[in-house]
């Protein structure tokens, strides 16, 4: 069944949309009628996603964008407005991450700074550039892609701090932009089967046992939530964090199993 055209006449810009969650969200918005600008640091990945969308009958353009650079972020917004005549939706998905040092005191400044710059300041740059156009659209929405790491310890000092900061920015920007007609929300995914987990099927299988729903997430699970929060179906929702995590934060499956002697009785 073809999804309803909730986004007919809409234009959307997505960052980090060359693969994974961003690509799935771009495909979902386009399938529901939006014209989408697929941006990614890797231009070839952005082009491939945009081509896939056009092959499926959607409207899409591709552009290389480095959210770590103000001029690049502003150019992406300008490109979307020039190409589509408007901008209604911004999806901030681009992020950076790095392996923690074994000891916290051995952490280096540069990886920390880079992770925060891309994962937190990147959405700040893109939102700042997009906001006047989202206000002008009369139905503007920003959807930030956060993480359960921003709410609970799953490792990753800089990444977790950046995602927690993004949740805070979501709330403060929602308060600022709400009176101007723009909604701002955040999705906190759990473990999602993306290229970041390539070659780690055993790890994903172990992780699945910690989820009350018995599996890790797929990019399309997050794309569906993006489409909801970006649409008029969420017209009275702003400043919120929507957990799309298979119940991970709400139910301590590991503890429950431990109290049953390690048995799993879903």
CATH number of the domain where residue 70 is located: 3.40.50.720
| Residue 200 included in any domain | yes
pLDDT of residue 2 exceeding 90: no
pLDDT at 264 (0 to 100)? 52
Domain that holds residue 183: 11-259
> Exposed (0-12), middle (13-18) or buried (19+): which is 218, by Cβ within 10 Å?
middle
pLDDT at 1 (0 to 100)? 38
What's the domain count of the chain?
1
| Residue 3 included in any domain | no
**3 vs 176, which has greater pLDDT?**
176
| Residue 6 included in any domain | no
| Residue 173 included in any domain | yes
| Residue 1 included in any domain | no
| Residue 5 included in any domain | no
Which tens digit of pLDDT belongs to each residue from 217-254?
Answer: 999 999 999 999 999 999 999 999 999 999 999 998 88
Has 95 been annotated as catalytic?
A: no
What average pLDDT does the segment 6-30 reach?
98
Say which of 10, 124, 159, 211 is annotated catalytic.
Answer: 159
What average pLDDT does the segment 68-94 reach?
98
């Amino acid at each position: 069944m073809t999804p309803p055209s909730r986004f007919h006449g809409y234009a959307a810009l997505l960052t980090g949309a060359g693969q994974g969650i961003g690509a799935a969200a771009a495909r979902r918005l386009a399938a529901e009628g939006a014209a989408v600008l697929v941006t990614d640091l890797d231009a070839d990945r952005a082009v491939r996603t945009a081509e896939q969308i056009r092959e499926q009958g959607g409207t899409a353009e591709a552009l290389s964008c480095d959210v770590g650079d103000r001029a690049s972020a502003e150019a992406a917004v300008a490109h979307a407005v020039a190409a589509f005549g408007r901008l209604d939706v911004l999806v901030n998905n681009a992020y950076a991450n790095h392996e923690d040092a074994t000891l916290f005191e051995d952490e280096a400044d540069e990886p920390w700074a880079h992770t925060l710059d891309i994962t937190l300041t990147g959405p700040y740059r893109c939102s700042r550039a997009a906001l006047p156009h989202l206000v002008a659209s009369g139905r503007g929405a920003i959807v930030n892609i956060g993480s359960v790491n921003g709410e609970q310890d799953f490792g990753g000092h800089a990444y977790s701090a950046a995602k927690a900061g993004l949740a805070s920015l979501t709330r403060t920007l929602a308060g600022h932009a709400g009176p101007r007609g723009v909604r701002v929300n955040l999705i906190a995914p759990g473990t999602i089967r993306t290229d970041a987990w390539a070659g780690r099927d055993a790890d994903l299988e172990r992780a699945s046992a910690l989820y009350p729903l018995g599996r890790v997430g797929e990019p399309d699970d997050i794309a569906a939530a993006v489409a909801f929060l970006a649409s008029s179906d969420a017209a009275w929702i702003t400043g919120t964090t929507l957990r799309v995590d298979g119940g991970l934060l709400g139910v301590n499956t590991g503890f429950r199993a431990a109290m049953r002697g390690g048995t799993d009785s879903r």
